[in-house]
Amino acid sequence: MTFIFPSPEFDDAVAAVCHGTASDGQLEGLHGVLRENLVARDEYILRVELHAQLASEPDLFASARLEIPTPDGRETQVDLPSRFRFPSGVGTRRPWHRNQILALVACLALLLTGGWWLRYGSENRQGATSHAVAMLNREVNARWNSADPIPGLGAPLEPGCLRLESGLAQVVFYNGARVVIEGPTELRLVSSTEAACVGGKLTAEVPPQARGFRIVSPQFDVTDLGTSFGLDMADGRNELHVFEGKVKFRAGRSRTNQFLSKGRCAVVEGSNSSRLVAADPMGFASLFELQARSVAADSLRFGRWREASLKLRHDPSLWVYFDFEHSSPSDWRLRNLGTRSPTVPDATIVGCQWQEGRWAAKPALEFRSVSDRVRLSVPGTCESVTLAAWVRIQALDRQISSLFMSDGFKAGTIHWVIRGDGVLGLTVIGSKGGHQILTSPPVLPVDQFGVWTHLAVVLNGPSKEAVHYVNGLPVRRCAVRLGPPYRIGTAEIGNWNAVRFPGNDPFLIRSFNGIMDEFCLFGRALNDAEIRTLYTEGKPQAETVAAVAGN
């Protein structure tokens, strides 16, 4: 028997294990899903532990109504029965302390909340299945057709047309083939092993594992046999140049396969048959220079970001600023370059590894283990808060992953998180024990993993509004009912210290799986234009331009 998680079959199998009635098929299916799915393992441990504790004390609960927060910020009431009944002889009676009772109530609340999550939250999962066949790997001075969605650097590309008006762009197909196009060129992605070029100029580099990669043009149908080749189509003249290896091709309306080897070029003009000439690598020099020109462009962007970073540090409201540049790989301290650095000490790195950041010459901090985190302490209160960070998500393997969370649930503190379904969340803890969860739509689908993304959230106390931002643009505005003062206190980047929370439950693990490069905490509410500036000045490459129609 095989089944997926979450599913009714999984629920039935876990219940059968708890009551000792699991069939061989259920055990086999459960073993398979627990071996492959980390979230399923956490849920399984939670349910078995809860069952064991409940079974040991059937008289634990009196009738009660429990208020449980749901992921959308509302609350639901659940009736707790006056008695749980178990088969005779199960468990032994023993006295329970008040803390144990509170821990068990908390476990039940989390389990019921988790059930709501599994039933409804999973329906909103975006991007779980990708139809992408390639990715945009590099670009230099790229201007894309304004009628099409502008492809993001590093983003997956699904089948469809790429119309580059000018500049250079490199597309890497999932089979390993690399195609560099120079505008104006129209390239249609067909599959991970095939593309069509209506017109323009391109080069293709096809490694052995991508042998058989195919490109179709109006005059050529080219199948790679382990090559590097170029296509140049302009003014009725179509040229196929082979720089390395060999290609198989059909020219014009011919159905006959021909072969072309290194150093040779096939030319077709109009309705004439193909003729052979010497290949001309110099005609494709600009495409071969893509990497060097891309490195130069990256260096220029890196320098401009450094200038913007120095200017940003003069903002008096910038309480905490980590640029991830001024720390030695062997140093466990992370320097706070914010204006309140005398009162806000440097942060402490726990675990974490240094990796390449938005640019090859810039370091960033990777969070991989469940123990990885950055600890800091921010004293004082404020009327508004803005948080911003550049992140490259590797996976959302927790129901909730921490971006920045104050310890525990102290009054006035905040929790900035990403849910497992790609929803951004900001939880505000009230002064009288209440809380409010402010969420965005699902904005981080699986296709965004591995791509540098700028995230920000603004909590504006005086205007009673919170705004979530992705890549400089607002994605949701939420009404806030819990007003200032707000505070940070002791907090963590990339994890959470669930201080004073009863129990030691896997659901409480908030570890972030990804890389962070630059983090800002402002003691005021930044406006839309200021958030947009943070994004544009920190973007790994210059803002991609859409060509004006008709140009």
Give the pLDDT of residue 328.
66
Look at 91-100, 132-141, 292-301, 430-439 and tell me which has the smallest mean pLDDT: 91-100
Tokens of 73: 């910020």
For 25-71, the DSSP string reads HHHHHHHHHHHH-HHHHHHHHHHHHHHHHHHT-TT-PPSEEEEEE-T
* Shared-domain flag, residues 163 and 306: no
Cβ atoms within 10 Å, residue 128 = 11
SS3 295: helix
Q: Are residues 145 and 278 in the same domain?
A: yes
| Cα 547 from Cα 143, distance rounded (Å) | 5
Residues 6+ apart with CB under 8 A from 19: 87
pLDDT of residue 14: 83
What does the pLDDT look like over 15-38, one tens digit per residue?
888 777 778 788 878 778 777 776
Report the range of poorest mean pLDDT among 41-55, 80-94, 410-424. Answer: 80-94
What is the pLDDT averaged over residues 323-340?
Answer: 80
- The residue assigned the tokens 């920000």 is 456
- 165 falls within a domain: yes
Residue 291's SS3 state is helix
Q: How far is the C-alpha of 57 from the C-alpha of 49, rounded, in Å?
A: 13
Domain closes at, from 69, 104, 124: 124
**pLDDT, tens only, 434-461:** 889 999 999 988 878 888 999 999 999 9
370 lies in the same domain as 518: yes
Q: Which residue has the tokens 């927790």?
A: 398
Q: Determine, yes or no, domain membership for 26.
A: yes
Domain for residue 97, yes or no? yes
Max Cα–Cα distance, the chain, nearest Å: 95
Interatomic CA distance for residues 314 and 338, integer angstroms: 8
- pLDDT tier at 69, thresholds 50, 70, 90: very low
Residue 432 lies in a domain: yes
Percent of the chain at pLDDT above 90?
A: 44
Residues 491-537: tens digit of each pLDDT: 999 998 876 555 555 457 789 999 999 999 999 999 999 999 999 99
59 is written with which tokens? Answer: 């008289």
Does residue 295 sit within a domain?
no
Q: Say whether both 231 and 105 belong to one domain.
A: no
Distances from the Cα of 189 to the Cα of 161, 336, 365, 452, angstroms: 6, 46, 35, 23
Which whole number is the average pLDDT over 143-160?
Answer: 85
**Nearest residue to 121 via CA among 504, 445, 398, 419:** 419
SS3 string, 487-547, reads: EEEEEEECCCCCCCCCCCCHHHCCCCEEEEEEEEEECCCCCHHHHHHHHHHHCCCCCCEEE
CB 356 within 8 A of CB 363: yes
Same domain, 168 and 283: yes
pLDDT for 447: 75
CATH of the domain at 228: 2.60.120.1440
For residue 62, is pLDDT > 60? no
CA distance 470 to 239: 43
Percentage of residues of the chain with pLDDT beyond 70: 79
For residue 475, CA distances in Å to 12, 116, 121, 457, 472 come to 39, 25, 19, 10, 9
pLDDT at 477 over 60: yes
Residue 365 — very low, low, confident or very high, per pLDDT cuts 50/70/90? very high
Indicate the pLDDT class of residue 126, thresholds 50, 70 and 90: very low
Question: What does the pLDDT read at residue 67?
Answer: 44
Residues 167, 309 share a domain: no
Statement to judge: residues 371 and 433 lie in one domain = yes
Contact call for residues 536 and 514 (beta carbons, < 8 A): no
- What mean pLDDT is predicted for residues 283-293? 82
pTM above 0.75, yes or no: no
Contact criterion met (CB below 8 Å) for 336 and 321: yes
Top mean-pLDDT range of 75-89, 346-360, 377-391: 377-391
Model pLDDT, residue 130: 66
**pLDDT computed for residue 38 by the predictor:** 67
Q: Among 288, 310, 333, give the residue marking a domain's end.
A: 288
Classify residue 52: in a domain, yes or no.
yes
Query: Does 261 share its domain with 335?
Result: no
In angstroms, rounded to a whole number, what is the distance separating the alpha carbons of residues 404 and 373? 10
For residues 57 and 18, which has the higher predicted lDDT (pLDDT)? 18
**Distance (Å, rounded) from C-alpha 349 to C-alpha 332?**
5
Residues 241, 142 share a domain: yes
Q: Give the pLDDT score at 43.
A: 74
Sheet bearing 347-350, strands edge to edge: 333-334, 347-350, 373-382, 486-493, 400-406, 414-419, 423-429, 435-442
Total domains in the fold of the chain: 3
List residues bridging with 469 in a β-sheet. Answer: 456, 474
Give residue for tokens 């525990």.
Answer: 408
Same domain for 322 and 203? no
Q: Is the pLDDT of residue 424 over 90?
A: yes
Task: Tell me how far apart the alpha carbons of residues 340 and 319 are, in angstroms, rounded to a whole number.
Answer: 5
What's the pLDDT band for 93 if we cut at 50, 70, 90?
A: very low
| Domain residue limits at 407 | 300-542
**Average per-residue pLDDT in the chain?**
80
User: Could you give the CA distance from residue 158 to residue 192 in angstroms, rounded to a whole number?
Assistant: 9
